Amino acid sequence: MSAPRSRLRTADLVALGAHGVRAHPLRAALSALGIAIGIAAMVAVVGLSASSRALVQQQLAALGTNLLTVTAGDDLFGKASELPAEATGRILRLDGVESAAWTATLDKVHVYRSALIPRGETGGLSVAAADAALLEATGSSLAHGRWLAEVPASLDTVVLGAKAAERLGVHSAGTQLWLGGREFTVVGILDPSPLTPELDTAALVTGERAAALFGFTGAPTTIYERSAEDAVAEVRALLPATANPEAPEEVKVSRPSDALAAKQLIDQAFTGLLIGVGSIALLVGGIGVANTMVITVLERRREIGLRRALGATRGHIRAQFLVEAMLLAALGGVLGVGLGWLVTAVVARSNGWLVAMPLEVPLAGVVVTVAVGALAGVLPALRAARTSPTAALGH
């Protein structure tokens, strides 16, 4: 009568693997750390990318995708053209247009913190005349103070974009600035404008003061137009001929929300690159696990020989060391997922982003690390299974 076949229950197999990991805690911790660094990098990159995309989507939902900008292009001879002064009025008469407003950059007019600042140190800021309806058309808002239309047009007043105020060191209304060779009073500061970033670095004055002081002719540089969502494509096609009937080919029409969408695509491409870098780190961690398991097999030859002599099959030995490698990698995976989520939360919060981490990312992270551990443990497990009981016990 043959002896009963040796059997190894799953619970006992896991217990054996866990015992092997606990036998050398420092070695296990260092091996798991290599895996953790790789998976943390991948989780953090995906989490930060998702958080950035969530912010862009939130901004688009709040600001809308129905804003179009109209600017002058070049004429047939390559020279810069101008939009007619009456272009905004014509655009407002189009069906589907809800609001429209203009700005006009004032050439050779600059703004400084005081009259003592050297003329060449403009800080990259521009001065522009602005339509009273600019806030409505662009969806911009005031962080401090009042809008130009809320103060007497005869006064020398200015509203600063968010970056312009920061560079000039202005934090509240009432500050005096040196603009165009005379003092202007800051009456308001705008919030940052993602769809119209050119306003962030602008100092805005009324068209009346620009005409009286700086020779403004009334020709706009940029027209901002908002239309109903379902009419954007139709209005966009009509804008060139409406803004400048005599030379519609010299008119450029763009959609600012497309720039945000393009930025999102660039971020996704960059995310893919960083995930590749994280994969290399994960591969290095897997090699570390394989190296650890090879050393473990060499050190535990007597244990292997004893277990074989007591009836353990080669399959049992293979399974034991394979499970040990997978547990070691899983430990690093759980640690890496937690670390990656922490990095995502800290960076997102510090930048004012929404913390967005798809549930499948941490789950996939753990699964990937277990798979890496399985691959890393295959060769050591096979080597352990091939060990002869007599040779192991005699070692």
Q: What are 283's strand-pairing partners?
A: none
For the packed helices 10-23 and 314-350, what is the interaxial angle rounded to 10 degrees? 70
292 close to 305: Cβ distance less than 8 angstroms: no
Q: Which stretches does DSSP call E strand in the chain?
A: 67-72, 97-105, 111-112, 126-130, 142-145, 157-160, 176-179, 182-190, 202-206, 222-227, 251-254
CB atoms within 10 A of CB 123: 15
| Domain boundary assignment for the chain | 10-60+261-393, 107-215
Q: Which residue has the tokens 């080669």?
A: 314
Taking only the tens of pLDDT, the chain with its 395 residues reads: 444 556 667 776 677 677 777 777 787 787 778 778 878 877 887 777 777 777 766 666 566 678 889 998 776 666 778 899 999 999 999 998 999 999 999 999 999 999 999 988 898 999 999 999 999 999 899 999 999 999 998 899 999 999 999 999 999 999 999 999 999 999 999 999 888 889 999 999 999 999 999 999 999 999 999 988 788 889 989 999 999 998 889 899 988 766 555 555 555 555 665 666 666 766 776 777 777 777 777 667 777 767 777 777 777 778 877 888 888 888 888 888 888 888 888 888 887 777 777 777 788 878 888 887 788 777 777 777 776 666 555 55
Residue ranges of alpha helices (H) inside 156-225 are 162-168, 207-214
| Angstrom distance (rounded) from CA 226 to CA 241 | 17
